[in-house]
Amino acid sequence: MKGDRGLSKIINIKASERELSILTHSLFSAWMLSFLFEGQILYYLADSHKFEPKFMIFSGAAAIFTGLLLFGLFIKTKKAAKKLFLFSYSFFIVISGVFFFPPSPLWIIGIIVASFLAGGCVAGWAFYLKDGTPKNQRIKTIADMLILSNLLMILNNMTAIHISPYVGLLLSTIMLLAALLLALKLPEEDSNSSLAVVELKGEPIDTTNLLVFLYLFITIITINSGLMYQVVNPAFPDIEWLTSWYWAIPYITAVFVMKNLPQKTNRSYILYVAIAMIGLSFIGFMGLKPGVLSYLILNTLMMGACGVYDLFWWSILGEMLELHHNPAKILGIGLSANILGILLGGILGGSIISSTTYSLNPTLLALTVVCVTLVLLPPLHKHLSLLLKDHAYLVGFAQLDEDEQINQIEGTAKFGKLSERESQVAFLLLQGKTYRVIAKELLISENTVKYYVKNIYYKFGINSRGELIDIMQK
């Protein structure tokens, strides 16, 4: 049928851009995670030259935070984001070469400048996340990127630890080169969806309150990640053969499980389970003797929880991209909270290690953080439900595959006696598109879209998109 072909074309039009952007960003992220940001390559390079890299690593994390926070002011289009990628990836390759030589002031300068640019690259990916993946399907794109980048990071880390940090650096630099070559193929023109902003009664939605609340929540809960880097991980120096590869496995597993949960699963309960996992990991750290079993228990609990929460706030920020003209601002500011929490946790962890009561304080502090996040989670969920109400309704439809989506909309159209054009409008409504975007995609006026929507609602006896979803799911 002609209508089927039209719907299929709408679904598939962004597939290649999505896959290309995932692979490009994952290759870059693998380099960043294994070298630039708390990376094992940098630690082992420093160890081979017998110097302490803590100041360098802290400075780099602070620079990433600054880049995430500020680059939304400069990167305002997809074209600008692509230019940033090409320049930054080239710079990263050059600066990686500096670390093949003995330590010099170029090391610290390179780390700071590269970290600042890396923060900008992460923020700039928001344009490709928003434009390459339909609203309410971005959790899958984000999960795929997190899984792939962490798998590549494990490969880099194991190479650096078990073979040579220089070989690990070379491998990660090759990944950067691949990211640069792929970035050349990224599209640079903004589509209609990039320019669209969700509106409420004709006015852009104010995201400030939600973003502030989410920022506070992310910052507080990731303090525990900083504590883990400084306190928990160093307690297992004798089982490097295990820690070198298992460290990120629970994280990857948690992201994969969350991505593939059944459509009707209530994920809010899993957030509470993840908070409990964080608390149990620090209680276990206080009570268990260092060894393989205790490491497996503690790391599984902590990193599994980190995977749950990373995908949670990444996906929430991904849905909020629709609420602002510049998605780089939303993603950059939101993820800077993650870095801020790790920085604060690192500072607190360093202070605890240097104190005489270090064996008890990390657990007390971590449990305090857990209690605070338990208090913050219900009001955060309320704010998210109010502002992203459509997201909560639309997720079931968005997670269906192409054939199921078409079958559902066909059945709904026949039940409501919708015309072919009304069916097309209904399909785009269910994809979370605004009237303005629907008008541009169907080459009709916005008033005509409103007319079709009014007819659709009249035929079903409903008043909202949420009610249309309810009818379709029945």
Please give the pLDDT value at position 393: 33
Q: Report the range out of 29-43, 271-285, 370-384 with the highest average pLDDT.
A: 29-43
Please, where in the chain does CATH 1.10.10.10 lie? 400-473
Cβ count near 236 (within 10 Å): 18
Instruction: Say which CATH architecture domain 400-473 belongs to.
Output: Orthogonal Bundle (1.10)
Mean pLDDT is lowest, of 38-52, 126-140, 416-430, for 416-430
Give Cα separations from 20 to 11, 144, 167, 193, 474 (angstroms). Answer: 17, 12, 27, 18, 36
Where is mean pLDDT largest: 12-16, 164-168, 370-374, 381-385? Answer: 164-168
- pTM of the full predicted structure? 0.77
Please report which confidence band the pLDDT of residue 390 belongs to, taking 50, 70 and 90 as the band edges. Answer: very low
Rounded CA separation 113/381 (Å): 37
**272: its two tokens:** 């509470």
Query: Which residue bears the tokens 């928001």?
Result: 126
CA–CA distance, 132 with 140 (Å, rounded to integer): 12
What is the mean pLDDT of the segment spanning 364-372? 69
**C-alpha radius of gyration, the chain, whole number:** 23
285 pLDDT more than 80:
no
For residue 326, is pLDDT > 60? yes
Over the stretch 207-257, which tens digit does the pLDDT of each residue have? 666 678 788 888 888 887 777 766 666 778 788 888 888 989 999 999 999
- What is the rounded average pLDDT of the residues 298-309? 90
Residues 6+ apart with CB under 8 A from 357: none
Residue 172 has pLDDT above 70, yes or no: yes
- For 194, 196, 444, the CA distances from 438, given in Å and listed in that order, are 13, 10, 8
Q: What average pLDDT does range 178-191 have in this prediction?
A: 89
For the stretch 394-448, pLDDT in tens is 344 555 555 665 666 666 655 557 788 888 888 777 766 778 878 888 888 888 8
CATH superfamily of 207-388: MFS general substrate transporter like domains (1.20.1250.20)
pLDDT value at residue 345:
80
What's the CA angle centered on 363, arms 361 and 367, to 5 degrees?
Answer: 120
CATH code 1.20.1250.20 region(s) in the chain: 13-186, 207-388
Per-residue pLDDT at 95: 96
Does the pLDDT of residue 291 top 70, yes or no? yes
Between 272 and 46, name the one with better pLDDT. Answer: 46
pLDDT of res. 188? 85
pLDDT at res. 456: 84
> CA 259 to CA 139: how far, in whole Å?
7
The pLDDT of residue 409: 61
CA 461 to chain centre: 39
**Contact call for residues 330 and 320 (beta carbons, < 8 A):** yes
Mean pLDDT of the chain: 81
What is the model's pLDDT at position 195? 47
How confident is the model over 337-347, as pLDDT tens digits?
999 988 888 77
Least confident residue range of 193-202, 206-215, 272-281: 193-202
Q: Are 79 and 189 in contact (CB under 8 A)?
A: yes
CA pair distance 135, 192, nearest whole angstrom: 13
* pLDDT value of residue 392: 36
- The predicted pLDDT at position 2 comes to 46
Q: What is residue 11's predicted lDDT score, i.e. its pLDDT?
A: 45
CATH class for the domain made up of 13-186 = mainly alpha
**Residue 200 bridge partners (DSSP):** 203
Residue percentage of the chain with pLDDT more than 70: 73
Average the pLDDT over 118-145 and give the result. Answer: 91
Q: How many other C-beta atoms can be found within 10 angstroms of the C-beta atom of residue 445? A: 11
Residue 345: C-alpha distances to residues 42, 222, 303 (Å): 20, 7, 15
